[in-house]
Structure 1
């Protein structure tokens, strides 16, 4: 191993290291959502009905996918901590264990979703035609879980090493594949027996296979990867394996809680009607796209906090988290201004249906009230997990999104008749609660000793 790999990586101060890592991470996360954005726009402009199928098929898929990704979060946390603790040579073994773990998680997740997704669609009170249309879309999405999980493991590992640009290149290359296939397949003129939401599902599957190939080509082309042990069988280490899974369990439970709550909002919109479910699909896609920016900041903040924690530097932990907090506030406020003034144009870009456009524009304007809080809560959660504080973020999300948001969403949207705007008010309240609890925990945990 080269001397450079064995040397402790110093923690630089200021915003430059955070933003240098956060920039490509944000672009990578935006690349994840760009796939969904392309799917939603292409399918939405083809047919509002097909957009509803796509949204409903994606709702349970998102729960399974994000829960599975949470199980893999230990790869990034442990890699960051190892680098901070002068153990970079251990990180190749972390990657190898993570990939094996991702493979089996992907198999189990695909079988679970493909087997239970159809009956779920037909037993949650949806209109029969909506359930019938969403089921095949969901089953195709299930096939794409394995490649995206193994690919993400490689991306997380590269990001922990400060090499976010290769992951970004891979992600946007896969987006090109997705765009080309959507434009070819969705209109139904390809000569293949697919169109609409089902065709878009197949485009997603192919693009995720491409992503997996791109990520591993880029890892193989990094000279240090071999020296770090990325291509050497990982030694048996039950303690390290258990710790990786322990971190993943907490993050996974947290992700499951949050995505389940948002999936429930999609079901509530489905109960309201076809216009509401199409409008909510657009709002959710825009909000998820925006969320990738603070999520990228959260990833970079977590890497910085994890390195400081691994180096046993409590002052560095506090400073890294503070910079993440301030950057998240500044960026999400800018986003609020852009969405607030451009809500009508954004709605028109997604759909030609006047009723869906009007409902969506109003909902996007109201959504500006939760963007800042949503950004702060994800940065706060990642700052805690980077210190191996696993279960408090999970309980916070459970409280905020399941105990508070889901009942309020049903009350405001269904019982009180506020529709999609009622769903958004529930999200506003839950996000404010989550952000307050998480940052309160961080301040309590990192207060200087007296």
Structure 2
């Protein structure tokens, strides 16, 4: 950590970052909790249903997270305007961000449905193929509202309004769990849809979350100074192109990581329902734990962006390294927790003994990559706060598609280590990303300091 950070500045920045990040964390946990509820609740039906949801969720997760990254330009752009005091420009950015979100969401829905054609080439059981395809077709109705919601999410977080995100996500989780219970198992005379019920519930929930965010902005005084819906505004293509120029590399960066994990899920499917289900459970829980460093990273984008908007490169550097340190501290705790309680975690998801045993082994690798995963997301978030997105994209592509996936295929397929071989590759890819991104952040933050 750079020696320019005094203990007083460290405490001040850590407090400010945590104040911004904890509501985001609860909101992120609630959002990911929907996917956790989908897998956990389906796991108590049939192994074939869980396999179908796991396969469909592999496609859904890749597309969804890519949308999140592409829309993250809003966080950076609004944070810089807040720091510079240009609040009059923010409503225009939000309106154009919503147009961008609508286009991105429609394109993502089309892509998700086209990706189901891949299932025909994965040697899946016919029932799993059919149920997984139906899962994707239904849940994709939630992508357009989700992309627009993420535009408003970035706007709200960057003006330091993170509690609305938390409350809306918690309400969404509650709705999702209740409707899952009704539709998966067929309570109160409703049809028992199994895994398809998860798709119906989540798709509806994403529309309701967008509506709740719009309603909150309308009644809360915190948004008065920058309220974006004072008049109609058509798409302004130069502004949208600028947002895409900044956001698409972030989307590709997110795609590089999540697609590597998703590709592993699809490749593991050929080893049978036990390996496939165990992989999905381990990945699902790892994603839940990952929300802590990710939430700190979202806070870092705001803190770094606002500092740079004010012209304070030294404070931006402080925010970067304090956030990285906080992420690492959490990673140590989470790694120990996963390693010690891996059997209990597996049992919470499924009653299948064979799936539990395989999952417990994979969770050891999940514990191992906590340090590198937390480091790479924190470093990448700080870099985005500097409005630099292409270099992290290239680093992530190299790490996951140049190292993680080739090594995983070598060990998992050729050496026949199945899911274990792929997880070794993922550990390697995350480590490469963490080292390269940290080195780039060190150079970038130092270069921006005043002479």
- For the superposition of Structure 1 and Structure 2, which TM-score range results when normalised by the shorter chain? over 0.9
d(CA) in 2 for partners of 1:129 and 1:363? 26
Match of 2:318 in 1: 319
Match of 1:84 in 2: 83
Any residues of structure 2 matched to 1:64-83 within 5 Å, and which? 64-83=63-82
2:105·2:147 contact (CA, 8 Å) conserved in 1? Answer: yes
Match of 2:249 in 1: 250
Match of 1:56 in 2: 55
2:76·2:305 contact (CA, 8 Å) conserved in 1? Answer: yes
d(CA) in 2 for partners of 1:12 and 1:286? 31
Match of 1:191 in 2: 189
CA separation of 1:438/1:171 partners in 2, compared to 1, >3 Å: closer, same or farther?
same
How big is the shift at 1:118? 3.1
How big is the shift at 1:111? 2.5
Any residues of structure 2 matched to 1:392-407 within 5 Å, and which? 392-407=391-406
| Secondary structure in structure 1 of the residue aligned to 2:164 | helix
d(CA) in 2 for partners of 1:360 and 1:27? 26
Match of 2:146 in 1: 148
Any residues of structure 2 matched to 1:381-400 within 5 Å, and which? 381-400=380-399
| Secondary structure in structure 2 of the residue aligned to 1:46 | coil
How big is the shift at 1:65? 1.6
Superposed CA offset, 1:104-129 (max 9, x none): 22122212322x13322112343433
Match of 2:6 in 1: none
| Secondary structure in structure 2 of the residue aligned to 1:446 | helix
| Secondary structure in structure 2 of the residue aligned to 1:294 | helix
1:272·1:414 contact (CA, 8 Å) conserved in 2? Answer: no
Q: Which moved more, 1:424-433 or 1:184-193?
A: 184-193
How big is the shift at 1:190? 4.6
Tell me the TM-score normalized by structure 2.
0.93
Match of 1:119 in 2: 117
Match of 2:433 in 1: 434
Match of 1:109 in 2: 108
1:122·1:128 contact (CA, 8 Å) conserved in 2? Answer: no
Match of 2:134 in 1: 136
Please point out which of 199, 202, 217 is paired with 1:201. 199
* 2:412 corresponds to 1:413: yes
d(CA) in 2 for partners of 1:300 and 1:88? 19
Please point out which of 156, 161, 164 is paired with 1:163. 161
d(CA) in 2 for partners of 1:235 and 1:68? 22
1:43·1:197 contact (CA, 8 Å) conserved in 2? Answer: yes
2:182·2:190 contact (CA, 8 Å) conserved in 1? Answer: no
Q: Which moved more, 1:79-88 or 1:213-222?
A: 213-222
How big is the shift at 1:229? 3.6
d(CA) in 2 for partners of 1:88 and 1:330? 35
1:89·1:229 contact (CA, 8 Å) conserved in 2? Answer: no
Q: Which moved more, 1:44-53 or 1:75-84?
A: 44-53
| Secondary structure in structure 2 of the residue aligned to 1:122 | helix
Match of 2:300 in 1: 301
d(CA) in 1 for partners of 2:327 and 2:30? 19
d(CA) in 1 for partners of 2:419 and 2:50? 16
| Secondary structure in structure 1 of the residue aligned to 2:186 | coil
Match of 1:230 in 2: 228
Match of 2:4 in 1: none
1:31·1:175 contact (CA, 8 Å) conserved in 2? Answer: yes
Match of 1:3 in 2: none
Superposed CA offset, 1:150-182 (max 9, x none): 222212211111111011000000111001001
| Secondary structure in structure 1 of the residue aligned to 2:121 | coil
Match of 1:5 in 2: none
| Secondary structure in structure 1 of the residue aligned to 2:311 | coil
How big is the shift at 1:189? 3.8
CA separation of 1:301/1:60 partners in 2, compared to 1, >3 Å: closer, same or farther?
same
* 2:285 corresponds to 1:290: no
Tell me the TM-score normalized by structure 1.
0.94
CA separation of 1:160/1:449 partners in 2, compared to 1, >3 Å: closer, same or farther?
closer
Match of 2:346 in 1: 347
How big is the shift at 1:42? 0.5
2:87·2:225 contact (CA, 8 Å) conserved in 1? Answer: no
2:99·2:235 contact (CA, 8 Å) conserved in 1? Answer: no
| Secondary structure in structure 1 of the residue aligned to 2:268 | helix
2:101·2:144 contact (CA, 8 Å) conserved in 1? Answer: yes
Match of 2:271 in 1: 272
d(CA) in 2 for partners of 1:347 and 1:440? 36
Q: Which moved more, 1:187-196 or 1:432-441?
A: 187-196
Residues matched between the structures, number: 439
